Amino acid sequence: MIKAPLTYIELFAGAGGLAEGLLRTGFEPIAHIEMDRYAALTLKTRLSYHYFKKNGRLEIYYEYLKKNISREELYNMVPAIELNTVINAEITNKNIPRLINLIRQRMEQKKVKKVDVLVGGPPCQAYSIIGRARDPYKMKNDKRNYLYRLYVKFLKIFKPSVFIFENVPGLLSAGNGKLWQDIQNYFKNAGYKVEYRLLNAHDFGVLQNRKRVIVIGWRKELNLKYPEFEKDSNVSRFRVIDILDDLPPLKPGERIYTGAYIKKPSEYLKMYGIRDEEDILTLHIARKHNKRDREIYRFYIEAWLKEKRRPNYDELPEELKTHRNRRVFKDRFKVVAPDLPYSQTVVAHLEKDGHYFIHPDINQLRSISVREAARLQSFPDNFYFEGPMTAMFRQIGNAVPPLMAEKIAKKIKEMIE
């Protein structure tokens, strides 16, 4: 008898970094709930990829990447039951009854009787230390602080065996730790035993220093325990340059929506499934920069390449300084160092500007492109983001790195089975 695949619901789904890990591991989606219109489209496009891959028809998906067919034509070739798992809606108290009904309809359509896993991480700005520093009220009045209570409502209704709740390290310290205590109590009162670890994406093969709180809970009656994750033993051999140097150089504002690579994929790109020989280069697009910013970028790139040093804002020549508040802006500019084993944490602020992610090539004098940011997050080159460039950067910065998500999903599968 063939086992039915394990099922999942994803809340606050974003572009689908967590979903990518689950899909690769053989999980069957019931619903992805996401309020951002462009992220919801990205999810549909990625589900199209997985559908065509499963059915041996990936050439159709690549026709879309080459822009030989439209998005509408692509979606029309995918069964509605696959794409309708994406629900473009905000999760609010008022909206929950409608969302519950929609999920139940999806379960009926897919003949699914049980939800095995609930996953998701509410928007993290309210928990982030940087966000709290910028807010005079320290995010106290931010309604996003309480989205975990809505997450728990889904737990109580669908009673999955296991849930994954992902967030920033600031979650543990917000409100002097009282918020985190409250969250744990809510999970426990819903019938779950809860444990967490502070995990770094680099330990999972991602070329990025990205620490996240990964909370895993399971129904109290199940004899389970938090999985042990082995550190990736190969990733330390590689450097950030391994994900940059096969991409064509760009001028600020230059945009390659569909193009060609200038080199064969590096060992890292092949080993970790970021790029293979069939892939097409897409979304290698960079934002524009004014003359002053480019001179600032030159200053920071030279400091790194010649001295392996990251200067403070105060060290800039006077004619390049524009901010009076030197305390807040002392770490505003940063080079993505090519010779380090990982980059700084990729964040959604990339949608606003790229000053914290300067490309290391002094001949380009620009911030990183959408494709470069996606690679730092371990998204494969065949992962296509929908929407304008700012929306793409936001989706990438908010995502769980797929390499990390896949290894977590494998452990969750082992736990349940």
CATH of the domain at 113: 3.40.50.150
Token pair for residue 32? Answer: 């992805």
Where is 302: in which H helix or E strand? Answer: helix 291-307
Q: Are residues 283 and 326 in the same domain?
A: yes
First to last CA, the chain: 15
360 near 235, Cβ under 8 Å? no
395 near 39, Cβ under 8 Å? yes
Confidence at residue 124, expressed as pLDDT on a 0 to 100 scale: 57
Tell me if 208 is assigned to some domain. Answer: yes
Q: Are residues 168 and 63 in the same domain?
A: yes
Token pair for residue 250? Answer: 């760009």
How many whole angstroms separate alpha carbon 178 and alpha carbon 175? Answer: 5
- CATH no. for residue 267? 3.90.120
Q: Are residues 228 and 309 in the same domain?
A: no
Tell me if 251 is assigned to some domain. Answer: yes
Domain count, the chain: 2
Q: Are residues 376 and 404 in the same domain?
A: no
Tell me if 335 is assigned to some domain. Answer: yes
Q: What angle do CA 353, 355, 360 make, to 5 degrees?
A: 130
Tell me if 186 is assigned to some domain. Answer: yes
CA distance readout (Å), 382 to 56, 66, 241, 281: 15, 11, 20, 8
Which residues in the chain show pLDDT less than 70? 1-2, 124-145, 324-330
Residues with a catalytic annotation lie at 124
Tell me if 2 is assigned to some domain. Answer: no
Residues 6+ apart with CB under 8 A from 316: 296, 299
Confidence at residue 138, expressed as pLDDT on a 0 to 100 scale: 47
Confidence at residue 139, expressed as pLDDT on a 0 to 100 scale: 47
Token pair for residue 215? Answer: 């909370």
Q: Are residues 365 and 272 in the same domain?
A: yes
pTM assigned to the model = 0.93
Residues 6+ apart with CB under 8 A from 406: 20, 21, 24, 25
How many whole angstroms separate alpha carbon 401 and alpha carbon 289? Answer: 28
Q: Are residues 256 and 313 in the same domain?
A: yes
25 near 160, Cβ under 8 Å? no
Q: Are residues 383 and 405 in the same domain?
A: no
Q: Are residues 148 and 38 in the same domain?
A: yes
pLDDT in tens, 39-59: 999 999 999 999 999 999 999
Q: Are residues 229 and 243 in the same domain?
A: no
Confidence at residue 160, expressed as pLDDT on a 0 to 100 scale: 98
Residues 6+ apart with CB under 8 A from 339: 239, 240, 241
For helices 58-65 and 37-54, the axis angle rounded to 10 degrees is: 140
Tell me if 1 is assigned to some domain. Answer: no
Domain limits at 167? 7-233+397-416
Residues 6+ apart with CB under 8 A from 48: 61, 64, 74, 75, 77, 78, 82, 83
Confidence at residue 184, expressed as pLDDT on a 0 to 100 scale: 95
Q: Is 178 left (phi over 0), alpha (psi -120 to 50) or beta?
A: alpha
How many whole angstroms separate alpha carbon 255 and alpha carbon 268? Answer: 25
Q: Are residues 225 and 254 in the same domain?
A: no
From the number of C-beta atoms within 10 Å of its C-beta (0-12, 13-18, 19+), residue 384 rates as buried
SS3 content of the chain, % helix, strand, coil (to 5): 40, 15, 45
How many whole angstroms separate alpha carbon 367 and alpha carbon 286? Answer: 7
For helices 147-158 and 96-109, the axis angle rounded to 10 degrees is: 40
Q: Are residues 91 and 190 in the same domain?
A: yes
CA distance readout (Å), 191 to 42, 146, 155, 156, 187: 34, 19, 9, 8, 7
In angstroms, how far is CA 260 from the centroid of its own chain? 25
Q: Are residues 151 and 71 in the same domain?
A: yes
